[in-house]
A and B are shown apart, each in its own frame.
Chain A
Amino acid sequence: MKAKIHITLKPGVLDPQGKAIEGALKGLGFDGLSNVRQGKEIEITLAETDEAAARAKVEEMCKKLLANPVMENYAIELLA
């Protein structure tokens, strides 16, 4: 089973990289856009076959290492 973890900065946390990307997009002539935020995605292949067990395991990984709860949120996606 594969897990994809999407890690994003919490709303309200300054994202200067997102702002720079937004500036570059506008510089290229794209208009009608705002609030560009940059996050990251982590992929993990798990030996688990049980979805609940896999989710619990990845949840623990997020809490212990993958995300910093002071500034980040995370969302877990499991793929068969």
Chain B
Amino acid sequence: MKPSVIVFPASNCDRDAAVALEQATGKAPKMVWHGESDLPDTDFIVLPGGFSYGDYLRSGAMAARSPIMRAIVEKAKAGTPVIGICNGFQILTETGLLPGALLRNAGLDFVCRTVALRVENSQSMFTSGFSQGQYVDFPVAHHDGNYFADAETLDRLEGEGRVAFRYVDNPNGSARDIAGVLNETGNVLGMMPHPERVISPLLGGVDGAAFFKGLVEAAA
């Protein structure tokens, strides 16, 4: 696997994502600056968490229009796996690679704690390390994580098995407790929780290690 982590101004989980990928693959991923217009030779792309461009205009809005995103949209449409975590999820909805939008948390508070998730679809390449209906604990840390889409879109996502994770105890008001969604072809995942923050007992959990191990095995 030749993963890449995209770095935007004010990304702050890019190094965590790199460590998680290195732990799972045995090799450091390429770090790619947002201002580049071409991607290196890569077969897995991570859009990390953070507050790219200070969340100006809308969370993820500016990053979604940065030069590297044109190449990423093209790659994603050709089938390359792309995962967006937290701010990365916001960026993916802003590019239109994933439906819906992430609104301000319903309770207005920044939510920063570990939450339980239910694996709703263990058939995707990103979730194959888990079994259907398994509960996992991932941290969340966001202000704009309230997943919103119209009822028709939500019905379609549920009907097509494109809800990857649901919150057990909804922390942000997300429609239908949705924590992570897949695109139509299953090669793009966006999720608000942070698997890269729980990859070792030293960090308080290992469910994220299983997540990265599963997706690396599925991609092999």
A interface residues (Cβ-Cβ under 8 A, vs B): 13-14, 16-17, 20, 64-66, 68, 70-71
Contact = CB atoms under 8 A, between A and B. Distances in A.
Interface residues of B, number: 19
- 6 closest A-B pairs by beta carbon, nearest first, are A70-B101, A16-B108, A71-B101, A16-B104, A16-B106, A68-B101
B106 A65 contact: no
Interface stretch (B6-14, B24-32, B57-65): B57-65
Interface in B63-97: 65, 93-94
Given A68-B94, A70-B149, A16 B101 contact: no
Contacts of A66: 57
A16 B65 contact: no
A25 B148 CA distance: 27
Interface string B166-177: 000000010000
B150 to A, nearest CB: 8
B100 A65 contact: no
26 contacts: A13-B148, A14-B103, A14-B106, A14-B146, A14-B148, A16-B104, A16-B105, A16-B107, A16-B108, A16-B173, A17-B104, A17-B108, A20-B108, A64-B65, A65-B57, A65-B61, A66-B57, A68-B58, A68-B61, A68-B101, A70-B99, A70-B100, A70-B101, A70-B148, A71-B101, A71-B103
Q: Is the interface of A mostly helix, strand, loop or mixed?
A: helix
Contacts of A16: 104-108, 173
A25 B58 CA distance: 26
A6 to B, nearest CB: 15
A71 B101 CA distance: 7
Contacts of B58: 68
Contacts of A20: 108
Residue among B57, B61, B93, B100 having the largest count of chain A Cβ atoms under 10 Å: B57
A65 B65 contact: yes
Residue among A16, A17, A70 having the largest count of chain B Cβ atoms under 10 Å: A70
Nearest to B150: A70
Contacts of A64: 65
A66 B61 CA distance: 9
Nearest to A66: B57
Nearest to A9: B103
Interface in B102-127: 103-108
A70 B93 contact: yes
Nearest to B58: A68
Contacts of A70: 93, 99-101, 148-149
B53 to A, nearest CB: 12
Contacts of B94: 68
